[in-house]
Copies of this chain bind each other. A is one copy, B any other.
Amino acid sequence: MGEFDLIERYFKRPARRAALGLGDDCALLQPAAGTQWAISSDMLVEGRHFLSTVDPFKLGHKALAVNLSDLAACGAKPVAFTLALALPRADEAWLAPFSKGLLALADHHRCELVGGDTTQGPLNICITVFGEVPVVGGRSQALLRSGAQAGDDLYVSGTVGDARLALEVFRGTVSVPAPVFDAARLRMEQPTPRVALGMALRGVATSAIDVSDGLLGDLGHILKQSGVGASVNVPVAVNLIASLAICTGLSASFDFKITPHDWQRWALSGGDDYELIFTAPAAHREAVALAAEQSQTPVTRIGQIDAHRGLRLVDAQGQALPNDFTSFDHFA
C-alpha cells in the first residue's frame, strides 16, 4: 500500500468546516470573526510516551487527547488538527485501529483532521491542534499561565497519579487488584482532555495549565509565570488518587503494599494525568462549581496562591510538610 492510498483509506473524509482539507499542499481554514487561534504541537515517541505493546486504537485516542488537553488549558474550542506520522511500515493491522481511535475522539470534539504527512521511520506521532478563543472588547478570553493572583484558590480537575500507578504496575514495581489496574490503565492509555471545563472556565479562572509532567512541576510554571507562590494541601491531593482505591472498596494501605509516600509522589509528580490545574478568586467559588457542573467534570480545591514565592506543601491544618517531589524532564 502506497503513501497516498494509505491517506485515502484511513484518514481522508469530506472537509467539514475547512474550506479545503486533505489532498492539497495546504489545508485552508477560515477563522471565525472575533476569535483568536490557539495552537499547540505534541510529539509522541514509542518507548518514551507509550509502550510498543499498546493497543493502536487507544494510542490514536491518546495522541490527540494530549493535544486537546493543551487547548483545554487555554479555554480554546477545538477546530482542527494536522497529523504527521512516521511508521516503520504501512501496516494495515495497526493503521485501521489507530485511525479509528484518533478519529473517534476527533469526532467527539468536532475537531477536523485537515492535513499532515506520512513517512517511513521509527514510530513517531506528531499532532498540531488549532482551537478558537473568543476576543471580547479587544481582550482575549484565553486562560494563560501568567494570570494567578495572591489570594486565588487553587484547583485541580479529576484525579492525579492514576497514570503513574498504571506505569508502576507495568514496570512490575507494584501489584494491585485487577479493577484498580483496569481503571488506572484506562486513565493512562485513554486520558480525557478537559475541553468542556476549560471552555467553561473562561472569565472565571485567572490561570490554567494541564498536568502532563506532574502536578507540582506544572503548577510551578503557573507560579513562575505569574510571579507568585502557593500552598498546596497534600492530604487532599493524595485523596485524589487514593479515591481510586476507595471507590473500589479496597483499602490502599491494606491491599496494595503501597506506602502513603508512594501515593503522594505519584499524585504530585507522576505525570501523564491531563487534568487541569487552575486558579480563581475566592469570589468565583460558585462560578467554578457551576463550570464543573456544566462540564460534568469534578474539580477539587487543593490550596491557594500566596504573594510569597515558592511552593509549600501543607497538611489539612496548614502546617508545613517536606517537599522532595520532582517533576518529569525529557532530558534530565
Contact B2 A26 (CB under 8 A): no
How many Å from the CB of A239 to the closest CB on chain B? 26
The complex is assembled from copies of this chain, and their number is 2
Report chain B residues within 8 Å CB of A76.
26
Contact A49 B119 (CB under 8 A): yes
A191 within 8 A of B: no
A128 CA to B31 CA, complexed, in Å: 17
Which 10 A-B residue pairings sit nearest by Cβ, starting from the closest?
A: A45-B121, A126-B126, A26-B38, A25-B73, A43-B84, A128-B128, A31-B31, A41-B82, A90-B331, A122-B122
Nearest chain B residue, comparing its CB with the CB of A72: B25
**A243 partner residues in chain B, CB cutoff 8 A:** none
Contact of A41 among B73, B117, B120 (CB under 8 A): B117
Q: Are B145 and A25 in contact (CB under 8 A)?
A: yes
A54 within 8 A of B: no
B126 touches A43 (CB 8 A): yes
A116: B residues at CB distance < 8 A: 41
For A113-125 the 0/1 string (1 means CB < 8 A from B) is 0111111111010
List of B residues within 8 angstroms of A329 by Cβ:
2-4
A1 contacts the other chain (CB 8 A): yes
- CB of A37 within 8 A of CB of B39, answer no
Chain B's closest residue to A218 (CB) is B25
| A142: B residues at CB distance < 8 A | 20, 26, 28
Residues in A298-329 with C-beta less than 8 Å from chain B: 329
Which of A130-138, A148-156, A251-259, A279-287 has 4 or more CB atoms under 8 Å from chain B?
A130-138
A171 part of interface (Cβ distance < 8 Å): no
Residue A144 lies at the interface, judged by CB distance under 8 Å to chain B: yes
